[in-house]
Amino acid sequence: MAWLAVALALPILLVGANLVAAGPAWVAGRTRPGAVLRSE
């Protein structure tokens, strides 16, 4: 019974992690590298 819980939790956790990471990845993909590097 425990293996069933692990087998169901793994895909759910992977999808959740991808959803959480999608927002920052989208923002990072839209930034212009030149502007960011000049500001530092």
Q: Calculate mean pLDDT across residues 7-19.
A: 95
Which pLDDT band, with edges at 50, 70 and 90, does 9 fall under?
A: very high
Q: Is the pLDDT of residue 1 over 80?
A: no
Q: What is the pLDDT of residues 18-39, one digit of tens each?
A: 999 999 999 999 999 888 888 8
Q: What is the pTM of this model?
A: 0.62
Q: Is the pLDDT of residue 40 over 80?
A: no
The token duo for 7 is 């087998």
Q: What was the pLDDT predicted at 39?
A: 81
In angstroms, the first-to-last Cα distance of the chain is 54
